[in-house]
């Protein structure tokens, strides 16, 4: 596992000690030595979720600025795929942020996503692998 794509929940869980997933998220964040890919959609969603905790929000921004995370921009093909996924899983609903993670994973041929949201990511069959590997377990 040389690179993983991050979802919001693991970041929140690692930063907020009161979060129910804190221990496993913080441990994963500390121990993972590969490339931490951060979709711009997840960056924005995380900022919104951390706005009540300015110290945690500032620490998150600093981690992106210091390249702890590699910010991944969306390209046109990602937008097309996000649209497809949102429509396909509309009654689920999947949502645009999770769809963006899948689109980026497909484009970059990444098979691992850090998430606590196993329900959404287990339901989607990506184009490039039979199923995504979800961590932390």
Q: What CATH number is given to the structural domain containing 74? A: 3.40.50.1010
Q: Compute φ and ψ for 10, nearest 5 degrees.
A: -70, -35
pLDDT of amino acid 117: 85
Residue 103 has pLDDT above 70, yes or no: yes
> What is the rounded average pLDDT of the residues 132-137?
88
Q: Compute φ and ψ for 38, nearest 5 degrees.
A: -125, 105
Residue 1 has pLDDT above 70, yes or no: no
pTM score of the predicted model: 0.94
Residue 31's domain comprises 3-135
Pull the structure tokens for residue 119. 């329900």
CA 101, 72, 46, 34 torsion-angle sign: positive
Domain count for the chain: 1
């Amino acid at each position: 596992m040389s690179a993983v794509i991050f979802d919001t929940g693991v970041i929140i869980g690692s930063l907020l000690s009161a979060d129910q997933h804190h221990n496993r998220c913080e441990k994963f964040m500390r121990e993972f030595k590969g490339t931490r890919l951060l979709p711009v959609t997840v960056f924005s969603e995380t900022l919104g979720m951390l706005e009540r905790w300015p110290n945690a929000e500032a620490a998150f921004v600093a981690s992106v600025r210091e390249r702890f995370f590699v910010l991944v921009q969306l390209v046109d093909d990602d937008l097309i795929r996000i649209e497809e996924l949102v429509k396909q899983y509309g009654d689920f609903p999947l949502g645009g942020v999770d769809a963006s993670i899948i689109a980026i994973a497909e484009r970059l041929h990444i098979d691992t996503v850090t998430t606590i949201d196993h329900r959404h990511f287990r339901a989607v069959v990506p184009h490039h692998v039979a199923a995504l590997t979800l961590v932390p377990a």
